Structure formats: structure tokens, C-alpha cells
Chains A and B, each alone.
Chain A
Amino acid sequence: MNVAQRAAIVEVMPQVPTANAETEGPVRARVIDLSFYYSDKQALHGVNFLVYDRQVTAIIGPSGCGKSTLLRAFNRMHDLYPDNRYEGQVILYPEEINIVSPQVDPMLVRLKIGMVFQKPNPFPKSIYDNVAAGLWVRGIRKKTLVDERVEQALTQAALWGEVKDRLKTSAYGLSGGQQQRLCIARALAPDPEMLLLDEPTSALDPIATARIEELVTELASVVTIVIVTHNMQQAARISNYTAFMHLGQMVEFRKTAIMFTNPSDRRTQDYITGRFG
């Protein structure tokens, strides 16, 4: 086998996580050869990467690249529809279970992993009830404990000061940015292992966006965060690791500092410098 032949083989080998893995700190999730099918349409092709514990990992890429599809695999959102199918593994640590395995109950996964969506979607209830809902569903009913957890979650979401005197008022009375922080508090209340954010600031004005970004960087010290964003500058601002996806493939996964100053792959460079996408 000559050099050219060897090089050709290396080209088609699956991408392996290149963020200098094991020396970087504890791993919270490991995605191994993950493929996903919307019935017969393949949306993810053998994705490999790592999610480090209590770090912010951003997933970027052009429209239709599969970033939201990938994110939703983490909390089994796809299971809500009948013909969807996973191949490969998403191993959650420290439990070491494959959370996309058919043997694992999606409900159990969603109890550990929370999600916040692009459009703020509080329940049509009071502020208090929104945050407490996740606790009640888990059988935590003792009032003093729930009160405490609601206050803690709202404080962590940088919302407590603004709502503490009107906890029983409707969540719909809040502004867009406040509603989104409420959704974050709602996701935080049950003390999740991981928080998934799907373009959380796309619908918000720049100041509300900045406050949520600040919130994300603070929260990262207590909960692992994976964020999908189409805003590259946002990924550059708040993430520690960035994954670039294109056409359902993981093109490059790297420390953010290096991704945005000296990426390895030509496709990554073209995307982040605005040469395609």
C-alpha cells in the first residue's frame, strides 16, 4: 500500500473527537457513531464527539445540518414520533448508560436532561407553578422544599429579584427575555445533569440575549450545557468547545479558542468566515 492509498483510506475514516480528549477533564457524555433516521431519511451520519462535564459545548452549522436533530437525541425528543430510529450510542456518565438505547425509558432520560427551546414556552400558569411543575412531576411535594427549590432555580436563572413579589401571577405577564429565563429556571429546578439549549436567544433582543449569555456562562459551573446556535459570535463568546456540523456529519470538534482562530477543516473555515452557508 503506498502513501496515496493510505491517505485515501484515512480520508474516509469516521471523524474522531479531536479536542484532545481524555486529558481535558471529566466527560459527561460520549457520542459514538450516532446515526439518526426520520423514517427512511438519514439526518445524522456517524456522529462522534464528547461533552465535557460542566463545560459549555456549542453546536454550529448551516441550516439543515442536523444540529437540532443531534441535540434532541440527548433527551429522546424524537421518540415522540413513531418512525424515528437511532443507531450508535450516546453514553451518559457517570451512569455509563446508552441513553438512545431502546431499552432505556425516554422519560427517565428526560428526568435527567432538560431542554430550553428557541421560542419561550412557559406553561399557561403562574410563575411559581411553572418552576414547581418539574418537581411535582418527580413526586417532590413538600411545600417548604418546593418553595426553596423554586427560589433557588429562579435565582440561578437571574430572575428571582424581578419576580419574587409576584410569583402567583401569570407567566404570560413577563417579557420575552424574562419568559425565557423562566423556562431556564423551570429546566433547572429538578437539578438536571445536563441542560440542552436550542437557539435560546434567537427570538430575543440584544440586551435580553446578553443577559442569557451571561447566565449560561454562570450556570456552566453547576450544570453541563450543550447549546445549538446559528450565531457564531455567540458560540465564540460563551462556549468552551464547539462542534461544527454539515449535512448531518460532524466535521470538526475542537476547543472554541482554536476553532475560531485556526480551524483544521476547510469546510469549518469557510463557514465561520462567511464564505458559505
Chain B
Amino acid sequence: MPEHIMKAFDTDLQGLTRLITEMGGLAEKQVVDAISALNKQDISLAQRVVAEDAKIDALQREIEEMAILTLARRQPMAVDLREIIAALRISNDLERIGDLAKNIAKRVNALAGGFQLQQVTRGIEHMTDLVLTQLKNVLDSYARRDAAKAIMVWRSDEQIDAVNNSLFRELLTYMIEQPRNIGVCIHLVFCAKNIERMGDHATNIAETVYYMIEGQVLADARPKGDVTSETRIPSSPERRNS
């Protein structure tokens, strides 16, 4: 695409793209560190994650300010308008991902010293890997304006939902078997849910990227696999989930 006649307009738009990319990188790192802190029960790493969240929030404010200023100054149309709106929406999703990572890090303190559930740890690592792949791909699709990649991310959330479903059932089992596990397991349920939500935010970003490039909303219903809200909990200790 040719440059704007007003060069400053191009500079403004490139500035927004750069900030989103920076924010995305920061969010990815926060996710990696939070899960690492969780699985290694590393309290000082967890505390760093909590403190670093402020940087993500600051970036979101900067992006909003820049977007609003560009809207006021340039009266953007068509693809330029969509780019600015996309930056606003994506920054919201990235900020939520940051918050979810922070929330996981906060729970490390509550879990430290407790027993470790190897199976669950592996499940969480697996789910995190899937989410980080989604995040990397969607941020790539944004930077390269790649609509096909965005659609691929949009369609790929079911795997993450599947792992979350199985983690949920597993944790239920531990809780039913031994009520002393409930404290630890509740925190882990929240952690797993947070990671699953990060995956949802990645698909939100994918929808926004697609809209930014194509100017049309992804109309079909996204494939959804999370059934934890519908999973029945057995009411008596004798009845076990298989």
C-alpha cells in the first residue's frame, strides 16, 4: 500500500503497531513466567510477575491515548480506521491476558509448600504450550496482516478447551477422593480456567485481526469446546467420576 501523503499519519499508525507488538511480547513473557512459577512453586518469580503487570497496564493506556489522538487528528477512513479500532480492542485482550497471568502468579503463594500433582502439572504445561502457540500465531498474523493465519488461530481453540475439560474432571476426582486436597485443587481449577480464558482472548484477537484486514466480521460461530460449566458434579462421595 502506498504511504499517506501526510507522513506523520504513517508514523502514528506504525507507532500503534509497534506498541501492540511490544505489549504482546510482554504478555507472552508474563504467561511463561507465571506458569513456570506455578509449576516450580517459585514465589519470588511469582512476585516479579505480579509487579510486571503494571507495565502491561501502562502500555494499554499509552495505546488508548495514541489511538484517540490519531482518531481526532486524522479523521481516518476504511483500513486506517479499522487499524486504529483494532489496536484499541487488541490492547484490551492483551491486558486481560496479563491480568490472568498475574492472577495465576498470586495463587503460587497459596499453593507453595503443598503437594504437587504431577499429572495436573503436566496438563497445565500442555495447555500453556497450546495457548502460547495461539498467542504467537495471532500476534504474527497482526504484524504481518495475515488473514489466513488469523482464521487458523480462530478455529484452533478447541484443543485448549479439551485439555481444560480433562483437567477439570481430574481435579474433581482428587477433591472427591480426599477433601484435604480441595484447597490446592480449587486454586488449580482457577489456574486452568485462567489459561483457558487466555486462549479465548487469543481468538478474540484473531477476530479483530481478520476484521482489520478484510473489513468484515467473522460471521460463523467459533468452534467451542469448553464444557466445564455443564459438567455434573456427583453429589455423594460413593459415586466416582470414571
Interface residues of A (CB under 8 A from B): 232-233, 236, 260-263, 269-270, 272-277
Contacts and interface: CB of A to CB of B under 8 A. Distances in A.
B77 A232 contact: yes
A169 to B, nearest CB: 40
A273 B3 contact: no
A269 B78 contact: yes
Interface of B: 1-6, 9, 75-82, 215-216
Contacts of A273: 4, 76-80
Given A261-B82, A261-B215, A262-B216, A275 B77 contact: no
Contacts of B81: 260-261
Contact of A270 (B2, B9, B76, B82): B2
6 contacts: A260-B78, A261-B81, A263-B78, A273-B77, A273-B78, A274-B4
Given A261-B82, A263-B78, A269-B78, A275 B2 contact: yes
A4 to B, nearest CB: 22
A261 B78 contact: yes
Contacts of A276: 2, 5
| In the A-B complex, the 5 residue pairs with the closest CB atoms | A262-B215, A272-B77, A275-B2, A260-B77, A273-B80
B5 A236 contact: no
A275 B2 CA distance: 6
Given A261-B215, A262-B216, A274 B9 contact: yes
Nearest to B6: A274
Contact of A275 (B3, B75, B215): B3
B78 A275 contact: no
Contacts of A261: 77-78, 81-82, 215
Report which residue of A260, A270, A275, A277 has the largest number of chain B beta carbons within 10 angstroms of its beta carbon.
Answer: A275
A263 B216 CA distance: 11
